[in-house]
């Protein structure tokens, strides 16, 4: 799986959009970009994933650059409950195995009241 680079920490004011960047310059054509977050002492929680098109769900939006070498996770209206460590992961999605996720150290996002 390709390696990702994320800033170690970020702050965002409550109610503002939080934009979390991720570099994945060695991503392969068949690798997806996944985002998970981990609130203190809980298991990681899936947020969103994409291949090359921008994606949006009820939690967030994912913007992937045209060359796919970087992406940005956007939390449109951050709340205090969004304070967590956010992990950007790239991986191949298979139909029968290889459920290995390679987590880095992630970005610790702190939402400021």
Does 45 contact another protein by CB under 8 A?
yes
Residue 6 or residue 70: which is nearer to another protein going by CB? Answer: 6
End-to-end CA distance of the chain: 37
- Considering only residues 43, 58, 66, 81, which one is a binding residue for another protein as defined by CB under 8 A? 43
For residues 55-89, b (16+ Cβ closer than 10 Å) or e, as one string?
A: beeeebbbbbeeebebbbbbbeebeeebbbbbbbb
Among 25, 57, 79, 102, interactor with another protein by CB under 8 A: 102
Residue 100 interacts with another protein (CB under 8 A): yes or no: yes
Q: Toward another protein, which CB reaches closer, 7 or 15?
A: 7
Instruction: Say if CB 50 and CB 63 are below 8 A apart.
Output: no
Q: Report the alpha-carbon distance of residue 64 to residue 11 in Å, rounded.
A: 22
In the complex, least distance from residue 28 CB atom to another protein, rounded to whole angstroms: 15
Kindly list the residues in this chain that would bind another protein in the complex (CB under 8 A): 32, 34, 36, 41-46, 49, 85, 87, 91, 93-106
């Amino acid at each position: 799986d390709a390696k990702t680079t994320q800033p170690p920490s970020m702050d965002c004011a409550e109610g503002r959009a939080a934009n979390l960047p991720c570099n994945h310059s060695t991503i392969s054509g068949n690798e997806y970009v996944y985002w998970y977050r981990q609130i203190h002492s809980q298991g990681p929680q899936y947020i969103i994933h994409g291949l090359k098109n921008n994606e949006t769900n009820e939690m967030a939006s994912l913007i992937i650059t045209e060359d796919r070498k970087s992406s940005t996770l956007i939390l449109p209206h951050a709340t205090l409950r969004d304070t967590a460590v956010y992990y950007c992961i790239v991986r191949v999605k298979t139909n029968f195995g290889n459920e290995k996720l390679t987590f880095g150290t992630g970005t610790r996002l702190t939402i400021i009241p």
